[in-house]
Structure 1
Amino acid sequence: MHSAGFLANLMARKFAARLQHEVRDLGLAPAQFMVLAEMAERDGLTQRQLVERLEVEQATMANTLARMERDGLIRRAISDADRRAKCIFVTDKGRSRLEIAFQRAQKVNAIATSDLTSQETEMFVNLMNKVIETLKRH
């Protein structure tokens, strides 16, 4: 239990399981929540852009987006910049689910860090970001 990689993986699985529990009634899987959250920052991204931003496999993203489109959470439209590409937009249904999911994700974060002070939480988040950036460089 002293391996950073093991602990990070375990923590990620615990967060994902708790988030799954919190958003299950919304019909959202954690991967779908990640896509909606990323698109809240910038609607109209392409599948390739989402793959790069979320660092997931192309096939995984394609399957996630297909389910989201089927469920009416997103819609696709031909890109004005590149007629071969399709831009993805969050629907009203997706946006309303995202608002609720964000609130529930904040609840999960609050529970997970409830034994930490606000300074410890800030340091923890900063350290995680630092480790992620280090791994990206190598």
Structure 2
Amino acid sequence: MSDFEKTRSAGYLANHMARLFAHGLAERIRPLGLAPAQFMTLLELWREDGITQRDLVARLDVEQATMANTLKRMERDGLITRRAHEGDARARTIHLTDRARDLQPAAEAAAASVNAQAVKDLSEEERVAFVAAMHKVIAALKD
């Protein structure tokens, strides 16, 4: 693909932007002892503690094996515990530790700083339109 085509390719630009966001986030949460996959998982658990691995896989749209590895690492790092599911003997629920709860303000601030940097040159109207357009593109790709 030529440079000219790359600058007009929504897929190329979205992928490039995602890599830059991921790098910026990784740099900011590294001092907290977190990796981006752990942060995304924590976002869901901060929203709703005690959900299952299957719930996390569906919500984050990741592979089962990827989530299993992330949770194993998070358990090792003292961020989560697993408990037997009350209604399903085959399932286990994922619960935040106090350490994970304590990380929430700093981790969310780190992510907010990446987002603020990314849209700093956009007006409020452009920012709202940009985020709305991203939602539309994501929905179209899920069809």
| Bucket of the pairwise TM-score, normalised by the shorter protein | over 0.9
Corresponding residue for residue 133 of structure 1 = 139
Counterpart in the other structure of 1:22: 28
2:115 & 2:32 partners in 1: Cα distance? 18
Larger radius of gyration: 2
Q: Secondary structure at the match of 2:78?
A: coil
Look up the SS of the partner of 2:81 in the other structure.
Answer: strand
Quote the Cα distance in structure 2 between the aligned partners of 1:95 and 1:47. 19
Match of 1:94 in 2: 100
TM-score (norm 1): 0.97
Instruction: Name the residue aligned to 1:117.
Output: 123
**Does 2:8 correspond to 1:2?**
yes
Residue 38 of structure 1 aligns with which residue?
44
1:48 aligns with 2:78: no
Shift of 1:40: 1.2
State the partner residue of 2:3. none
Stretches of structure 1 that go unaligned for 5 or more consecutive residues are none
Question: In the TM superposition, what whole-angstrom CA distance separates every residue of 1:46-99 from its partner, at most 9, and x where no partner exists?
Answer: 111100110001111000000000000011100111011000011110111122
Moved segments of 4+, more than 2 Å:
none
* RMSD, matched Cα: 0.7
Residue identity opposite 1:118 in structure 2? E
Matched length: 137
- What letter is aligned with 2:42? L
TM-score normalised over the length of structure 2: 0.94
- CA deviation profile, 1:34-53 (whole Å, cap 9, x unmatched): 00001111111111110011
For structure 2, the residue ranges without an aligned partner over 5 or more in a row are 1-6
For residue 141 of structure 2, give the secondary structure of its aligned residue in structure 1: helix
Asked whether the equivalents of residues 43 and 90 of structure 1 are also in contact (C-alpha less than 8 Å), the reply is yes
User: 1:69-88 maps to which residues of 2 (within 5 A)?
Assistant: 69-88=75-94
Percentage of identical aligned residues:
55
Q: Which amino acid aligns with 1:39?
A: L
